[in-house]
Amino acid sequence: MKLLKTIGLSFLGMVSIGSYAQEFDASLQLRPRYEYRNGFKTLMPDEVDAASFVSQRSRLNLNYAQEKLKAKLTFQNIRTWGDVATTTTSDKNGIAVFEAWAQYNFDSNWSARIGRQVISYDNQRILGEIDWAQQGQSHDAAVISFQKNSDKLDLGFALNTNAENLVAPTTPYITNYKSMQYAWYHTQFSELNISLLLLNTGYEYAKTITDLKVDYKQTFGTYLSYKEKNWDTNVGLYMQRGKSSGTDVNAFYAAANVGYAVTSKFKAALGYEFLSGKDQNDMSTDFKSFTPLFGTNHGFNGFMDYFYVGNHQNSVGLSDAYLKLSYAQNKWQFALIPHVFSAPNTVLDASSTKMDSYLGTEVDFTTSYALQKDIVASAGYSQMFGSSTLERLKGGNADNTNNWVWVMVNINPRLFGIK
């Protein structure tokens, strides 16, 4: 603690400018999580055993602010308990930089942020932090922001490559997108919030052995939310157009959620999501399956991550009808969320016969308890009741018990702050 304070005071002394008021803040996050995976992400095959492990995120957050300048530096280590020996001389993953950005405020309306940063908007369906994943998600980007009253506009830009090359590479850059540009606009009319997004992402591919190309895909649409008294609702509508690996993209997404606070402690919500897909007997080369791109997809379509979490890309799409019941009492929170999944496009069996569209039902239960303001314990149980159609898509055996259990502690103390 004394060392951190000394570092903070030295940092303030080095960057001191005139009589600007300055702040320095340091916080820590330790987040171990136990998981029991018995059919997580895919149906459990026969004659295999479930997996269990403990993963942990350890983060150090350093924040600096003065009149016109803000900066943030976040170090993190992600590990699985036991992935290095107890007597190891080096860590398997080491220390990584999760965020490293500086923001300059030109005036009360305009600002610019540059560096490694989280890009997250609205309900995080298209752009999100993916905080559930221990490593999270951040981008190397520049973002220019304008804000006046209830109007806000963000313009983002990113360009990625794999090294400081002397000449253009001859193999595609496939670790990430090659370039990204976006515009996000938000405004509010009374209780109605409106967001508009236009996102352009370029991915590099080899058209021929010696010819590298970048195809650009556009994702555009709106997110609307409305809240009044006990009612709240939101709607998301997005389309995708452009090119991907030389083929046309034509996909769309629609979602709606309506919630009602029955009491101050109990709330019920009903929702539906539709992500377009492609019939398995469709012979066209077009991409018709919607991709949520950089969304926090674990928070959608069931917590067991059967869909759109590193899987189910360019597939038959998804229809997800769900009910969410939540209850809060003192330091406790509970939620029960059943999902009914179906395929909006044709799935064929081994003999090329069309199968039933019903994929399965997942039931998620979560609970959390706040021991104090900076320590929260949480846990969850989920079970997938899959169908033969889901089995056809995912493999495994739908007749096996497919469930998932997790227990997590989030310890997030503020170490100190200096003004």
Indicate the pLDDT class of residue 5, thresholds 50, 70 and 90. low
Is residue 358 within 8 A of residue 327, CB to CB? The reply is no
The fraction of the chain above a pLDDT of 90, given in percent, is 87
The 10s digit of each residue's pLDDT in 377-398 is 999 999 999 999 999 999 999 9
Residue 362's CB: how many other CB atoms inside 10 A?
Answer: 26
- So what's the pLDDT on residue 6? 55
Residue labelled with tokens 């056809």: 392
**pLDDT, mean of residues 130-147:** 98
Residues 6+ apart with CB under 8 A from 147: 109, 111, 153
- So what's the pLDDT on residue 308? 96
| Strands 51-65, 414-418: pairing kind | unpaired
Distance CA 159, CA 164 (A): 13
Phi and psi at 7, nearest 5°, equal -60, -45
Indicate the pLDDT class of residue 8, thresholds 50, 70 and 90. low
For residue 100, CA distances in Å to 76, 139, 417 come to: 12, 10, 19
Domains of the chain, start order = 106-300 (2.40.160.100)
**pLDDT, mean of residues 180-184:** 98
**pLDDT, mean of residues 104-119:** 97
- So what's the pLDDT on residue 17? 47
**Encoded tokens for 365:** 């239960």
* pLDDT tops 70 at residue 48: yes
The 10s digit of each residue's pLDDT in 288-328 is 999 999 999 999 999 999 999 999 989 999 999 999 999 99
**pLDDT, mean of residues 104-109:** 96
* pLDDT tops 90 at residue 2: no
Distance CA 215, CA 240 (A): 13
Distance CA 341, CA 82 (A): 36
Nearest alpha-carbon partner for 63 in 117, 132, 108, 17: 117
- So what's the pLDDT on residue 252? 97
**pLDDT, mean of residues 62-81:** 97
Distance CA 315, CA 306 (A): 12
Residue labelled with tokens 């310890």: 411
- So what's the pLDDT on residue 12? 54
Is residue 356 within 8 A of residue 311, CB to CB? The reply is no
* pLDDT tops 80 at residue 180: yes
